[in-house]
Amino acid sequence: MNLSASEYKYILRIAGKDIEGSKKLIVAISEIKGVGYNFAQVLTHILKISPDRRVGFLTEGEIREIEHAIANPEKAGIPLWYLNRRKNTDTGSNQHMITSDLDFAATNDIEREKLVMSWRGYRHMFGLRVRGQRTRTTGRKGGAVGVKKVKMMPGQVPGAPAPEAGAAAPAAVGKEGAKQAAGAAPAAAKPAAGAAPAAGKPAPAKK
């Protein structure tokens, strides 16, 4: 039974996913997370619904049939090799997970791999590729390996070790540094007024 134009649905919900009514059925079902294009094609073939039909013209009974087939694909007659969760680790049964259940199962699988300290778990812990991809030239997330930037002090020669903490800074170089050094030398040579004479030299006689 087809709906008339007055009963057309602009937005409807299938398996927890809001879908526009103007889309074709096979495209709309493929938008559900966990349902691919091939799975949607087999599903429409088994339910004997045209894949090119607009979703907005589906009846309530057809929507329930589609949701039931997605939730229980084995009972609907879909072959086992189309399921995305065969021989589940916890229950041993064949399942087809969608939406948040699929994400939750994938997260649990990764945590189990880390817990048993498998090779895949190690790779997951360090953020490396797990499925045998090349890592020599691709997938680099950090900076360059073996390059270390050292902050140089003013006047430090490139390649020389950095001064230790608390050490005096090196003398300034250039014209300004030369002027400062030239002006500081005479001042140091003249003794201050009233200061005691240097040791080892006799005091001048007073007249």
Cα angle 176, 180, 170; round to 5: 80
pLDDT at 114: 95
Is 8 in a helix, a strand, or coil? coil
Q: Where are the domains of the chain?
A: 5-82, 98-131
| Beta-carbon-side half-sphere exposure of residue 9 (alpha carbons within 13 Å) | 17
Residue labelled with tokens 């490396």: 128
Note the pLDDT of residue 102.
Answer: 92
pLDDT of residue 6: 60
Report d(CA 18, CA 31) in Å as an integer.
10
Per-residue pLDDT at 67: 93
Listed as ranges, residues in the chain with pLDDT below 70 are 1-6, 143-146, 159-207
pLDDT at 161: 67
Residue 117: other Cβ atoms inside 10 A: 9
pLDDT per residue over 50-108, tens digit each?
999 999 999 999 999 999 999 999 889 999 999 999 998 888 888 899 999 999 999 99
Give first-to-last CA distance, the chain, whole Å: 136
Q: Domain 5-82 falls in which CATH fold? A: Helicase, Ruva Protein; domain 3 (1.10.8)
44: left (phi over 0), alpha (psi -120 to 50) or beta: alpha
**Which one-letter DSSP state was computed for residue 24?**
B
Look up residue 121 and give its two tokens. 């778990």
